[in-house]
Amino acid sequence: MTHVLVIGGGSGLGLGLARHLLARGTAVTIAGRSAERLADAARSLDRPDLLRTERVDITREDEVRRLVERTAPLDHVVVTAVDARDAYFPIADFALEHARAVLGTKLLGPWLVAKHAGPRLAPGGSITVTSGVAAHRPGPGASVLAAANGALEALVRALAVELAPVRVNAVSPGWVDTPVWDVLAGPAKADRLAAMADRLPAGRVGTPEDLAEAFAAVLRNRFMTGSVLHVDGGHRLV
């Protein structure tokens, strides 16, 4: 049976992917920093026969190493973790510790995952990380997030060569209706997402299900490596 580790699987994109995979009979381990959030996710998924949970902070190498050891054998690893609280500030107000936190979660965390999971993946296995449209269409206040996403896409290309035949790819979402917007926009969430939907060629913002299908397609395609799959409703074009 295929086993997929989803880091960041307690909510948002990761939770959507876990639900998608479980519905198709895949064994899934969801991992994240919040034990409470993981427990809530496990209750909502309701698949104790196929689902495990593990707590991890991917900015800590010892925790990443232990996570990989506990969850092996693995076929695929997906990283969707993000900390939106530190990601958006005008540069004049962007504290250095917040910038380091963004880079730790978005760039160095996936690098640590690749370092420890890459050598242990089953033949035909893959690592898929989550970039974002800010790398290609940045907005005010997203300077560090844009830099982290751009660097992450460069990292994917380098690791695809270094870790071959393990495949390494990125999925790059645009705006997706997930709980992260409760943090970023608060009560203005619905208005912010509706305004973006009016701008996009697709005519709507994304859903976790849209991204789950994209991640699953990357996992299945054994001829895809060193690539970035853009799933942004045309956001890069407008």
Q: Determine, yes or no, domain membership for 132.
A: yes
More confident call, 85 vs 101: 101
Predicted local distance difference test score (pLDDT) of residue 183: 83
Q: Determine, yes or no, domain membership for 192.
A: no
CATH number of the structural domain spanning residue 157: 3.40.50.720
Predicted local distance difference test score (pLDDT) of residue 85: 74
Give tens-digit pLDDT for 124-141: 999 999 999 999 999 899
Give tens-digit pLDDT for 190-222: 999 999 999 999 999 999 999 999 999 999 999
Counting the structural domains of the chain, the total is: 1
Q: Determine, yes or no, domain membership for 236.
A: no
Where do the DSSP E strands lie in the chain?
Answer: 3-7, 27-32, 51-55, 74-79, 121-130, 167-173, 228-231
| Model pTM score | 0.96
Mean pLDDT of the residues in the chain:
96
Q: Determine, yes or no, domain membership for 124.
A: yes
Give tens-digit pLDDT for 56-87: 999 999 999 999 999 999 999 999 998 777 78
Is the Cβ–Cβ distance between 144 and 102 less than 8 Å? yes
Is the Cβ–Cβ distance between 125 and 166 less than 8 Å? yes
Q: Determine, yes or no, domain membership for 197.
A: no
Q: Determine, yes or no, domain membership for 235.
A: no
Please count the residues of the chain: 238
Which residues span the domain enclosing 218? Answer: 3-180+208-230
Neighbours of 60 (CB within 10 A): 15
Neighbours of 90 (CB within 10 A): 10
Q: What whole-number distance in Å separates Cα of residue 71 and Cα of residue 30?
A: 10
Q: Are strands 3-7 and 51-55 parallel, antiparallel or unpaired?
A: unpaired
Work out the percent of the chain whose per-residue pLDDT is above 70.
100
Where do the DSSP E strands lie in 67-199?
Answer: 74-79, 121-130, 167-173
Q: What whole-number distance in Å separates Cα of residue 127 and Cα of residue 170?
A: 8
Neighbours of 238 (CB within 10 A): 10
Q: What's the whole-number mean pLDDT along residues 101-106?
A: 95
Predicted local distance difference test score (pLDDT) of residue 169: 98
Assign 170 a pLDDT band (cuts: 50, 70, 90): very high
Residue the block writes with tokens 């608060």: 186
